[in-house]
Amino acid sequence: MEKNILYVKGDATAPVADGNKLIVHICNDMGRWGKGFVLAISKKWKSPEKEFKAWYKSGNGYELGAVQFVQVEADIWIANVIGQHSIYKDEEGMPPIRYNAIATGLEQVGAFAVEINASVHMPRIGCGLAGGTWDKIEPLIESGICNKTVPVTVYDYEC
Q: pLDDT, tens digit, for every residue of 92-138?
A: 999 999 999 999 999 999 999 999 999 999 999 999 989 999 999 99
Question: What pLDDT, in 10s, does the model give residues 2-46?
Answer: 468 999 999 999 999 999 999 999 999 999 999 999 999 999 999
Question: What pLDDT, in 10s, does the model give residues 63-75?
Answer: 999 999 999 999 9
pLDDT the model gives residue 3: 65
Range 61-86 average pLDDT = 97
Smallest CA-to-CA distance from 123 within 21, 36, 4, 1 is with: 36
CA atoms within 13 A on the CB side of 76: 18
Range 53-81 average pLDDT = 97
List, in order, residues 6 or more apart from 95 with CB less than 8 Å away: 89, 130, 131, 132
Amino acid type, 125: I
Q: Which CATH class is domain 5-156?
A: alpha beta
pTM of the model: 0.95
Q: How far apart are CA 142 and CA 152, in angstroms?
A: 9
Smallest CA-to-CA distance from 86 within 31, 127, 42 is with: 31
For residues 142 and 3, is the Cβ–Cβ distance under 8 A? yes
